[in-house]
């Protein structure tokens, strides 16, 4: 299934890139690889994430060994990434 990053995730993606380029550059390559791998898993199995406690119809999928979680919803034709949430910001996305 096709994955689409919505506009609501744009700032999160910028933060992810900034964090791993400027704050934690030694983890950058591994974090990017983990994000790509989890996207492949998600595309193959859209229900892999757990249902969100915050919103109906939304699922959450942690990116392994990073503080980031993919917040997404599944539609009949695609997977929409709503946020790439830095969980250190709390749980209210």
**Average pLDDT of the chain to the nearest whole number:** 95
Q: How far is CA 26 from CA 7, 10, 42, 52, 84, in A?
A: 28, 23, 26, 31, 20
Q: Torsions phi, psi of 81, nearest 5?
A: -85, 115
State pLDDT tens for residues 11-48: 999 999 999 999 999 999 999 999 999 999 999 999 99
Domains contained in the chain, CATH given? 2-89 (3.30.2310.20)
Indicate whether 90 pLDDT > 90.
no
């Amino acid at each position: 299934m096709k994955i689409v990053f919505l506009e609501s995730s744009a700032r999160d993606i910028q933060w992810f890139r900034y964090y791993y380029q400027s704050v934690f550059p030694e983890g950058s390559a591994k974090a990017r690889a983990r994000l790509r791998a989890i996207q492949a898993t998600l595309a193959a199995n859209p229900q892999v994430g757990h249902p969100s406690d915050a919103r109906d119809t939304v699922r959450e999928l942690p990116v392994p060994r990073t503080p980031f979680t993919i917040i997404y919803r599944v539609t009949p034709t695609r997977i929409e990434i709503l946020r790439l949430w830095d969980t250190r910001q709390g749980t209210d996305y």
